[in-house]
Amino acid sequence: MVPWWAKGSHKGTSVVVKMENPNWSMVELEAPSEEDFLIGSTPTGSREKLRGKNAKQLTWVLLLKAHRAAGCLTSITSTFLSFGSTVRRRVASGRTDDNDIETDENKAVKTGFYNCIKVFLWLSLLLFCFEVAAYFKGWHFGAPNLQLQYILSVPLGFKDLFDWLYTHWVLIRVGYLAPPLQFLANVCIVLFLIQSMDRLILCLGCFWIRLKKIKPIPKHEAVADLESGEDSFFPMVLIQIPMCNEKEVYQQSIAAVCSLDWPKSRILIQVLDDSDDPMTQLLIKEEVHKWQQEGAHIVYRHRVLRDGYKAGNLKSAMSCSYVKDYEFVAIFDADFQPSPDFLKRTVPHFKVEQQVNGVFINFFGFNGTAGVWRIKALEESGGWLERTTVEDMDIAVRAHLRGWKFIFLNDVECRCELPESYEAYRKQQHRWHSGPMQLFRLCLPDIIRAKISVWKKFSMIFLFFLLRKLILPFYSFTLFCIILPMTMFVPEAELPAWVVCYIPAIMSFLNILPAPKSFPFIVPYLLFENTMSVTKFNAMVSGLFQLGSSYEWVVTKKFGRSSENDLVSLVEKGPKHQRVGSEPNLDKIQADLKQEQKARKTKHNRIYTKELALAFLLLTASARSLLSVQGIHFYFLLFQGVSFLLVGLDLIGEQVI
């Protein structure tokens, strides 16, 4: 009798299993057939034959699984060996993030911050050993209040000295450590919720703008005038390209600006070279001369006294007598390459009819590049000032306080270069987060006295400066890198799981929602943002209290699409046009470029001490969380600790040595 599950036709199908090891042969496995289900009516010999066949198939399946497991184990082992070898090289090289500290003041500031992290690390290691010993002596409970009830019910006599010490430690936790830690955690949670609400509103606003296709629309007459092609309808535009020792990217930026679709007689390009490297100066001069010979209206400027960094460079260029003949100025950093129609898509908006006039606050921080200014607005706002490292945000704030409006064109894009390494990105982020705090100290009285609405004052002080520039790096570092690990050792102070996991995940999801291709990177994005909170918090404190590191202005290093080989080949070709004056020493330039190319290949990765100390702190806290069976906290601390470890050992980005 055929069982009910065997009814119907069952035809065996062949499954070919390919073994990766060439010493093993291929084997064919058959799927179950009707004979496999006719157990009751099958003779004893056939039954034994089927059993042997099935046993052979099972053996091959087990061998296949064993082979895969061996391959996986081999891969994991090689990965750990490679990781260990890399760590040994990092430690042996002795290159840390403190090697480039130039002044004693900067060294004292950074060393003090690092020492504070080390104190938390050693304290966590000591407490971890203490808690492990207590765990094996029976001090493990599911909830913090049970510990207190247990201690209060224990008689005065104790088993040994350890029990006495641990009992008093728990009492100290409950009475003295947990309340202030819980209070600080609650404050950070409130700030976290406020900032999350702000991000949610911004995301919803962006979706609403995209859904309704809201954008500034220039007057039809302004666009028609430009499309007519008559030079008289094109306003005079000054283009500025500030640069400093950026020979990796100067060629494409100059070429892109010289290719702008604008009448040559209505545009002037200023190449503002602050390079202190004679070789770089000669290369940039040669590039400018080449474009001059091709008909571009371009000039080269170099300052003898390089005061004020980029702000001083722009301020010096605006003092030229011919600037008064121009109505607008467009600024592009050396690593930005505008599209040919950039000016035609931006300049008409200076005669704008806004569709949403008064609905949104028309202010945002100018990022110093890929923007067009009305020169009158710069002059009435006081021009470029060298008082902070964010001169672009400084002029934007002062212009807004004087009533000038800003327009953001989301559909106008400009290509740019990314920082060449994590070290370059780290220094860039330090400058971007210390400068706003410097500016906030300086501009607060002006904002209060400004003749603008109370809502705009509140928006600029609370939303722009406090919430997005101060509170965000403060709670990101304090809540997730200090308070959360400490609650593992003081479990009477608790952080809810929704604070640790759900809301950060939702906010990260909303941030990358406009770019669906970024969804696979949502977890790495969240971990990396928390890792960068160390740099941002340090920069925020430095700028707020005017410490030494807040005045550091380092040009962000870029690779550029043109490599050193391209530059060498360019020099080998020699000048294309006849020049008046002495020729540059091309042989020396070629030799210097080749020498620098060789030096770039032998550069070393660094060890970032603060990130490394925090990695061990978070990993220790994750191990401690296992004693309290806190699942989501363990996984967050574990992955966050691993991300800090990777960053601390400089295992992200380009790996050199």
DSSP state, residue 419: B
Does residue 55 lie in a domain region?
no
Q: How far apart are CA 169 and CA 126, in angstroms?
A: 13
Same domain, 302 and 336: yes
DSSP state, residue 91: H
pLDDT in tens, 55-72: 667 777 777 778 787 887
**Contact (CB, 8 A) for 571 and 604:** no
Q: Which of 431, 421, 509, 433 is nearest to 477 (CA)?
A: 433
411 annotated active-site: no
Same domain, 125 and 242: no
Which tokens in the block code for residue 45?
């010999």
- Please classify residue 26 by burial: count the beta carbons closer than 10 Å to its beta carbon, then call 0-12 exposed, 13-18 middle and 19+ buried: exposed
- For 524-537, b/e burial (b = at least 16 CB within 10 A) is ebbbebbbbbbbbb
Residue range 230-250: mean pLDDT, rounded: 85
Q: Which of 433, 532, 524 is nearest to 480 (CA)?
A: 532
Which tokens in the block code for residue 557?
């290093």
- Please say which residue of 379, 409, 439 terminates a domain: 409
**What phi, psi does 227 have (nearest 5°)?**
-70, -20
Q: How far apart are CA 330 and CA 385, in angstroms?
A: 18
**Contact (CB, 8 A) for 277 and 555:** no
Q: Which of 156, 151, 164, 190 is nearest to 492 (CA)?
A: 151
- Please classify residue 325 by burial: count the beta carbons closer than 10 Å to its beta carbon, then call 0-12 exposed, 13-18 middle and 19+ buried: exposed
Contacts of residues 494-499 at CB distance under 8 Å and 24 or more positions apart, as own/partner, are 494/144, 494/182, 494/185, 495/185, 495/189, 495/633, 497/632, 497/633, 499/189, 499/192
Across 119-123, 193-197, 294-298, 499-503, the highest mean pLDDT is recorded for: 294-298
pLDDT in tens, 166-194: 888 888 988 899 999 999 999 999 998 89
The sign one gets for the Cα dihedral 615, 620, 621, 623 is positive
- Among candidate residues 97, 273, 274, 333, the one labeled active-site is 274
Does residue 290 lie in a domain region?
yes
**Contact (CB, 8 A) for 511 and 203:** yes
Q: How far apart are CA 589 and CA 339, in angstroms?
A: 31
Does residue 635 lie in a domain region?
yes
Does residue 417 lie in a domain region?
no
Does residue 73 lie in a domain region?
no
Lowest mean pLDDT among 175-189, 243-257, 565-579, 609-623: 565-579
Q: Which of 214, 390, 232, 424 is nearest to 310 (CA)?
A: 390
Radius of gyration of the chain (CA): 33
Same domain, 122 and 205: yes
Tell me the CB-side half-sphere exposure of residue 277, using CA atoms within 13 A. Answer: 14
10 Å Cβ neighbour count for 621?
26
DSSP state, residue 95: -
Same domain, 515 and 642: yes
Q: How far apart are CA 229 and CA 559, in angstroms?
A: 38
- Among candidate residues 333, 335, 392, 650, the one labeled active-site is 392
- Please say which residue of 353, 378, 409 terminates a domain: 409
Same domain, 466 and 398: no
Banded pLDDT at 343 (limits 50, 70, 90): very high
Q: How far apart are CA 323 and CA 468, in angstroms?
A: 36
Residue spans of beta strands (DSSP E) within 157-275 = 217-218, 237-243, 267-273
Same domain, 331 and 430: no
Same domain, 136 and 208: yes
pLDDT at 70: 81
pLDDT in tens, 261-318: 999 889 999 999 998 888 889 999 999 999 999 999 999 999 888 888 889 999 999 9
Same domain, 120 and 203: yes
Does residue 639 lie in a domain region?
yes
Non-local (6+) Cβ contacts of 224 within 8 A are none
pTM: 0.75
Banded pLDDT at 146 (limits 50, 70, 90): very low
Same domain, 534 and 633: yes
Lowest mean pLDDT among 48-52, 390-394, 413-417: 48-52
Same domain, 326 and 399: yes
Q: How far apart are CA 250 and CA 561, in angstroms?
A: 10
**Contact (CB, 8 A) for 217 and 210:** no
**Contact (CB, 8 A) for 375 and 329:** yes
Beta strand 267-273 with 237-243 is: parallel
- Please say which residue of 345, 377, 409 terminates a domain: 409
pLDDT at 576: 40
Same domain, 403 and 443: no
Q: Residue 297 belongs to a domain with what CATH number?
A: 3.90.550.10
Does residue 513 lie in a domain region?
yes
In this model, does residue 30 exceed pLDDT 80? Answer: no
10 Å Cβ neighbour count for 96?
19
pLDDT in tens, 400-426: 999 888 888 888 888 888 887 888 888
36 annotated active-site: no
Same domain, 650 and 512: yes
In this model, does residue 482 exceed pLDDT 80? Answer: yes
Q: Which domain holds residue 462?
A: 86-96+104-147+189-215+424-558+605-656
Total domains present in the chain: 2
Non-local (6+) Cβ contacts of 460 within 8 A are 363, 397, 400, 447
The sign one gets for the Cα dihedral 320, 322, 325, 328 is negative
Q: Return the ∠ at Cα 505 (arms to 499 and 511), rounded to 5°.
A: 125
Does residue 132 lie in a domain region?
yes
